[in-house]
Chain A
């Protein structure tokens, strides 16, 4: 039997369509179809000036937007030789880690929903995300599409009381994460549907170019924040979370641990944050020197890369965006044949894909 899963299906988290060939309830073949959200971002940006591009990138991975912006603005900064003020770097780190936590909350809720824990954990996940979203709204003015980073720093400084509010929020988060674990970890439904489901060994994941929590859950502790430190990440004390299972439960566990580490980073950054300007002296209208640069950062979902080829003009000659969701989805799709259908849902949900990012 052939089953069309998606593109409009509540369990596919976006417009992902998987054509599943079933034998009873067992999956024989699963063919993903992408491109329902393809907007040609890489083509559009070739017609835009460097200054205009961050708002477009916000619309790629709309759950962790600031992480998208970072790779791009750092690539521009590297090519233009811009030095970002210290304060801007710290604010960036704080917001990025909050953004990562937000993204994981937004993953946690729907994930439990897909597993059949209908409602409770879903709403709690989104509610905690809402608190952080308010901080972002106060800081950037927008709830989702922030457009806050720009090459040379930030668009404007953070508001008064930002440090107090951020630290209050950060201090509160560990208890919240504990509660989430308390809520689902001993739950039979949750355990039966995650432990041992969709296991992937490390070498396969690596070979498929997987990254982020998905790769770390397979026992390979690669984290760009540690391996190739960018921004000011080398000044903070945090550990790279990994798990050995490679199954859905390991992916859940890695994300939960990662949020705790993010909180640690936020608390350290808030303590160390200096005063000063937040935007380097640069014009909006810039021309980058001829050359190419590939800048990668640790996105909430894995390695997000921005590859800029400049011909010396005011617009990028080519801007390739390496999407972590795409590679992770590709890797997870080899797991699907042989599963029962509900496990397929659980596995795809545990990868944490955002279709805006895979399709671009």
Chain B
């Protein structure tokens, strides 16, 4: 879609270039790519995560040397892990999305690519019940060690209770 419309900005030209290179290097592990709102989105198969990520960091024209954000999103049948990457030299950015099935919630860790993924992966793991293979310190980050809940999954419902009526009842 994006190739049909002529690039309007320098940033967009660069993104198209990255998209082309990415397709050339990892065409078989890419599920889809799109350019929307001057941002590049790439859906990557989970098995290819270490290769693609290392390539994104090391390739000469990409150099995504900075991980901004790593988070999970629970869609009902799978969890998507989203990586927001940033290249400090070219100021370009890419969003990489990886679908992980809930039955075998394992995905390769990227801590050896960006050290900054460490705690973000720990948080994502505990919140969504994922396993990041190869993580050096796979403890829980924010939750307690004995807490097996996966709070950010959609089937986890918050129980607000009704303290107010309880207080009223106690008072009466």
Contact = CB atoms under 8 A, between A and B. Distances in A.
Do any CB atoms of chain A lie under 8 A from CB atoms of chain B in the complex?
yes
B71 A207 contact: no
A183 interface: no
B22 to A, nearest CB: 19
Nearest to B147: A35
A207 B65 contact: yes
A11 to B, nearest CB: 22
Interface residues of A, number: 37
Interface string A269-297: 00000000000000000000000011010
Interface extent on B, as a size class?
Answer: 20 to 34
A321 to B, nearest CB: 9
Interface string B100-134: 00000000000000111111100000010000000
A331 interface: yes
B91 A227 contact: yes
A40 B151 contact: yes
Interface in A327-341: 327, 330-331, 334
A331 B140 CA distance: 18
B4 interface: no
A208 B117 CA distance: 7
Nearest to A203: B65
A330 B118 contact: yes
Given A35-B141, A38-B142, A228-B91, A207 B152 contact: no
A43 B160 CA distance: 12
Given A43-B158, A209-B114, A331-B116, A34 B142 contact: yes
Contacts of A220: 88
Interface string B35-73: 001010000000000000000000000000111110101
B80 to A, nearest CB: 9
B88 to A, nearest CB: 6
A222 interface: yes
Given A296-B68, A307-B71, A44 B116 contact: no
A253 to B, nearest CB: 22
A47 B159 CA distance: 11
A49 interface: no
Nearest to A37: B142
A318 B114 CA distance: 24
A248 to B, nearest CB: 21
Interface in B138-160: 140-144, 151-152, 156, 158
A294 B65 contact: no
Interface of A: 34-35, 38, 40, 42-44, 47, 78, 204, 206-210, 220, 222, 227-228, 293-294, 296, 303, 305, 307, 309, 317-318, 320, 322, 326-327, 330-331, 334, 359-360
16 contacts: A42-B152, A43-B156, A47-B158, A204-B115, A209-B68, A209-B114, A209-B115, A209-B116, A209-B117, A209-B120, A220-B88, A294-B68, A317-B73, A318-B71, A322-B68, A330-B118
CB-based closest 8 A-B pairs: A209-B116, A35-B142, A320-B71, A322-B69, A38-B142, A208-B116, A318-B73, A330-B119
